[in-house]
Amino acid sequence: MQTLLEQIFPNVMASPDKFWESVWATVVMTAWAGALMFVIGLCLGLLMVVLKPGGILACPLAYQVLDKAVNLIRSIPFVILIALLMYVTKAIMGTRIGIRGVIVPLVVGSAPFFSRQVEAALSDIPAGLIEAAKAMGSSPLGIIFRVYLKEGAAAIARGTTITLISLIGLTAMAGYVGAGGLGDYSITYGYNYNRMDIVWASVIAIVALVCLIQMIGTLVAKKNTH
């Protein structure tokens, strides 16, 4: 096995620690940014749904502001976002380089996208269910937790899967601020030295990661569909 791997991936196996370190960096970035993205995006998505005209806490002005802000942020390419946010990152995380330095742009780059996914998921819940809950005397908070989040769970799980996978795509650019990860690994050690085995190993690791996320997402969605 060892010799076979050394034959196929000679440069990876020359310093395997570097490879695992990169995988780990990608996982850590995805996990941290993913968790924060989930919480922030979920709140934003919920807010948009309830504040929308006709929503349970309708406030058209606040909705317009949120809606435009989400569109604005979503239109900025991620690499530029890293640059744009450097002082914000520094203020929040204390540094603007390394894994700590890339979490803020990752969250800002993915949460608005996720909030749209949440908004779409919750808008698909039949209006009649909200009306029935109101008629039964549920408060707005009760409707959010007992109707929106419960009935929308499967669709939210699918939206989370899509967003996490695109988040992994964003982590590939983390090398710009020295956060490492598989994107940085394949450019710095693969592309620059013309070592294709390093690129292939990165691809395999990323595909495995994506499959794992997709599997978990599908499972959660299935458990919440009846």
Partner 1 sequence: MIELEHLSKTFAGKDSVHALRDVSLTVQKGEIYGVIGYSGAGKSTLIRCINLLERPDTGTVRVDGVELTSLSASALNRERRKIGMIFQQFNLFATRTVLDNVAYPLRFSGMSRKAIREKAEALLKYVELSDKRDAYPSQLSGGQKQRVAIARALACDPKVLLCDEATSALDPQTTASILQLIRRLNREMGITVVMITHQMQVVKEACHRVAVMENGRVVEEGDVFSIFAHPRQEITRTFVDSTTNLNKVEDLLEEGAEITRLKPGEMLVRLSYQRGSAAEAIVSTVSRNFGVDVNILLGSLELIEGALLGGLVVVFSGQRQGIESALNYFREKNVGVEVIADADPA
Site mask, partner 1, residues 38-77, x = CB under 8 A?
----------------------------------------
Q: How far is the CB of 86 from partner 1 (least distance, A)?
A: 43
| Residues contacting 217, CB < 8 A, separation 6+ | 157, 158, 160, 161, 164
CB 31: neighbour CB atoms within 10 A?
Answer: 12
Residue 93 vs 153, nearer CB to partner 1: 153
Q: How far is the CB of 146 from partner 1 (least distance, A)?
A: 7
Residue 165 CA from chain centroid, whole number: 7
Token pair 């850590």: residue: 28
Q: How far is the CB of 123 from partner 1 (least distance, A)?
A: 16
Contact positions with partner 1 (CB under 8 A) in 118-137: 126, 128-129, 131-137
190: part of which helix (H) or strand (E)?
Answer: none
Site mask, partner 1, residues 158-187, x = CB under 8 A?
------------------------------
Cα–Cα distances in angstroms (integers) from residue 94 to residues 90, 101, 121, 152, 178, in the given order = 5, 8, 36, 37, 15
Phi and psi of 195, rounded to 5°?
A: -105, 95
Residue 68 vs 150, nearer CB to partner 1: 150
150 counts as binding partner 1 under rule CB under 8 A: yes
Cα–Cα distances in angstroms (integers) from residue 207 to residues 17, 158, 214, in the given order = 20, 18, 10
Residue 94 vs 128, nearer CB to partner 1: 128
- The residues that touch partner 1, with contacts defined as CB under 8 A, are 126, 128-129, 131-139, 142, 146-147, 150-151, 153-154, 224-226
